[in-house]
Chains A and B, each alone.
Chain A
Amino acid sequence: MTTHAPQGAPPSGGKQSLNKTESNMVLTGVRSQRTVGDLFRRPETGALVGTVTVFIFFAIFGGAQFLTTGGVASWLNIASELALIALPVALLMIAGEFDLSVGSVVASSSVTLAVVSGVYGMPQIIGIIAALAVGALTGFVNGIIVARTNVPSFIVTLAMQFALAGLTLGLARVIAGSTSVPLTPDPVFKALFGTLINGQFEVAIFWAIGAAVVVVWILQMTRAGNWIFAIGGDSQSARAAGIPVPKVKIALFMSTAIGASLVGIIQTMLYNGAQTGSGQSFVFNSIVAVVVGGVLLTGGYGSVPGVILGCLTFAIVNQGIYYTGWNSDWAQLILGILLLVAVLMNNTFRRLALSGGGRKAASAAKGA
C-alpha cells in the first residue's frame, strides 16, 4: 500500500480522459508476457483437445473414407444443424438457464411450415414466417415464465417440450390427418434452406457460419454479451448493477427457439416435408455439444469457438463411427465418456484460469 492516491485527488466521477502514457506502459509490459500458459486459461482449450483427439481417432480407425469429401460433409452437415441450436443454447446456458424445449420447437416449426404451405397451399414465405413465429412465441412464453416466476428453466422448458410435442402431434393429425406432412419446396427456398451443394454439403453450413459470427459478436463485442456473463455469474448482483435481467433472459429464450425453428425449416426443405417426431435428439445433443465446448453448466463462463468445437466433436463421433465398420452403438458410449472427460478437463482448465491469485479463487472453480 504505497501508491495511495493523494487525498486532494479530483473525484473520479464518470468520464475522464485516460492517462495514456501511464496505462499503456503497464499494459505493454504485460502483453509481452503472454505465454503458452495463457492458452490453457482459455475456455475453449479443452474443447480443442477433444475435437483434435476424436478427429485423429476416426482418421485412424475410420480409414480413408472418413477423410473423403463425402466423409467430411457427413459430419459438417450434422455439426451445422446442431450449431444453429447449440450456439443460442450456449448463450442461454452462460446466462444460467436451460432450454429443453428445442426438440419440440424443431418439430412444431417444421409441421407449421408444411401445414401452412402444404396443406393450406399458402405461399411458402408465409409458411416460413409462421414457423419462425411459432419459435419466437414459444421462446417468449418460456422466457416470461422463467423471468416472472421462480420456477427453474429446466422444469419450465421440459414442460414446454412435452406440451408442444403433444400439441404438434394432435394438430397434425387433426389438420393433415397424418404424422407426416409433405411439402414440395419452391426452388428459391430449396436453394436457400435445403439444397445439397455439390450433392453433399448442406446449405445449413452457411447458416451456421452466419449464426456463429452473430453470436460471437454479441457475446464478445457488445454490452449485451457482458450482461449475459454477469447474469450467469450472479443474477442478483447483475440486477443490482442495473441490468434488465428479465428482458435479456426472454431475448435469449427467443433466440434458442428461433434457432430451433430455423433447423425445422431447413429439415422441411431438405426432406420435402415434416415429421411430427423430428428434432427430439437436439434436446440432449445441444447440451452435450455446449458442455463439451467448455460452457459452465451453472452459467457465467464459456466461449463461442468452444461451442463450435463441441458441435464438431459431437458430429465427428456421431458420423465417424459409421466409417469404422463397428456397430454404431459404440458412438453413444464414446459420447458418454467424452462428456464426462470434457467436464472434468474443463474444470481443470477453469481452475488454471483462476490461478495466479488468491487462494480463495480455486474454490470458485469447483463444480461443473
Chain B
Amino acid sequence: MTTPLLTLSDVSKNFGTNQALSDISLEVNPGEVLCLLGDNGAGKSTLIKILSGVHKPSSGTVEVEGKPVVFDSPKAASDVGIATVHQYGGTFPLMSVARCFFVGHEPTKGVWPFKYFDKKAAGEITVREMQKLGITRVTDGSRLTGALSGGERQSLAIARAVYFGARVLILDEPTSALGVKQSTHVLRIIMHARAQGIAVVFVTHNVTHAMAVGDRFAVLIHGKKADDFRKGERTREQITDLMAGGEAMAELEAELAELTGPVQTTP
C-alpha cells in the first residue's frame, strides 16, 4: 500500500451556522481520476476550495503524502503541486492567451531593474502547449483569451496547470458550460493528464462524463459523503439515484405521473 498523494480525514467546514461539509474523508492517488458528484449546493466547490487553499477546514486534516498540511493561501497549495481550475474564472478574457497562461509565473529576461517579461517565449510556449492539447486554432500568443471558446479556455487553464508541474489537477465542473464536442475534448485532456501520472479531481453533475473517465467516485449530499466507490461497482441508475438523493427521484417520478397521468409502458 503506497501513501495516497492527498488524504482528507474528517474534514468539516461551516460558514457561520451553515454546515457546508461534515466529516469528509477521501484519498487521491497519482494517475487516478476521482470524480466528485453531487447536486447543487452539495458542497463540491467548498471541498475543492479547501484542497486548493482558498478556505481552511473548520476541523479535520488534510495530508500531502502522509504529512499533515494547512494551506494559508492558494499559493501554498500550488507550491506543493495542487493546481485548480475553479468553476467560474481561471482565465482572463481581456488578456492575451500568453499573458493568461503565465499569470503568476511570468518568464523574465535581463537583470533588475531592466528585468522584463519575456513575452516572446511566453507566446511560443503557450501556443506549443495548447497545440499539444489539440487546440490548433490558436497560433498566436497575442490573441485575446476572451476570443476563445469555452472548451478552449478550459483547455488553456488545464494546459497551464500541467505545464507548471501540477501533481494534483482539480477541475470544478469543467464541462458544465460546454457542448458535446467540447466536453469530449476536455474529457480527453483529463485522460491525457491521468496518463502522465497526475492525480485528477473532477467535479461534475454529469454522470456520463464521470463514468467515462473516473477511477473512483464520491457522492456528496448536503455536505456529507453519501457513497464512495470504484469504477464498475455501481450502475448508472444507482449513481443517478444517489445524486438525486435516492428516494427523492422515485418521489419525483410518482409526482410527475400524477401530473401527466400514468406513463404508458406497453403500447
Contact = CB atoms under 8 A, between A and B. Distances in A.
Interface in B127-155: 127-129, 131-134, 136, 139-140, 143-144, 146-150, 152
Interface string A92-125: 0000000000000000000000000000000000
Interface stretch (A23-31, A152-160, A173-181, A326-334): A23-31
Interface residues of A, number: 54
A355 B147 contact: yes
Interface in A10-49: 11-14, 18-19, 22-24, 26-27, 29-31
A354 B165 CA distance: 30
B99, B108, B134, B146: most-surrounded residue (chain A CB, <10 A): B146
Contact of B117 (A12, A31, A226, A361): A226
Contacts of B105: 241-242
B116 interface: yes
B41 interface: no
Contact of B106 (A18, A226, A240): A226
B37 to A, nearest CB: 23
A337 interface: no
Contacts of B163: 12-14
A270 B124 CA distance: 50
A18 B139 contact: no
Contacts of A221: 116-117
Given A23-B128, A361-B93, A240 B147 contact: no
A233 B93 contact: yes
B254 interface: no
Contacts of B149: 357-358, 360
Contacts of B140: 27, 30-31
A22 B127 CA distance: 10
Contact of B127 (A14, A27, A238, A296): A27
A355 B144 CA distance: 9
A7 B106 contact: no
Given A226-B106, A353-B144, A365-B146, A11 B197 contact: yes
B128 A239 contact: no
B102 to A, nearest CB: 7
Contacts of B129: 12
Contacts of A360: 149-150
A356 interface: yes
A358 B147 contact: yes
B104 A241 contact: yes
B139 A239 contact: no
B103 A3 contact: no
B134 A222 contact: no
Contacts of B192: 4-5, 7
Interface stretch (B3-11, B83-91, B230-238): B83-91
Contact of B95 (A233, A242, A243): A233
A229 B99 contact: yes
Contact of B94 (A13, A26, A31, A233): A233
A23 B141 CA distance: 11
B125 interface: yes
Query: Which 7 interchain pairs have the tightest Cβ spacing?
Result: A357-B147, A233-B92, A358-B149, A241-B104, A13-B165, A242-B75, A364-B93
17 contacts: A3-B131, A13-B163, A14-B163, A14-B164, A23-B128, A221-B116, A221-B117, A223-B106, A226-B95, A226-B99, A237-B92, A240-B86, A242-B75, A300-B92, A357-B144, A361-B144, A364-B93
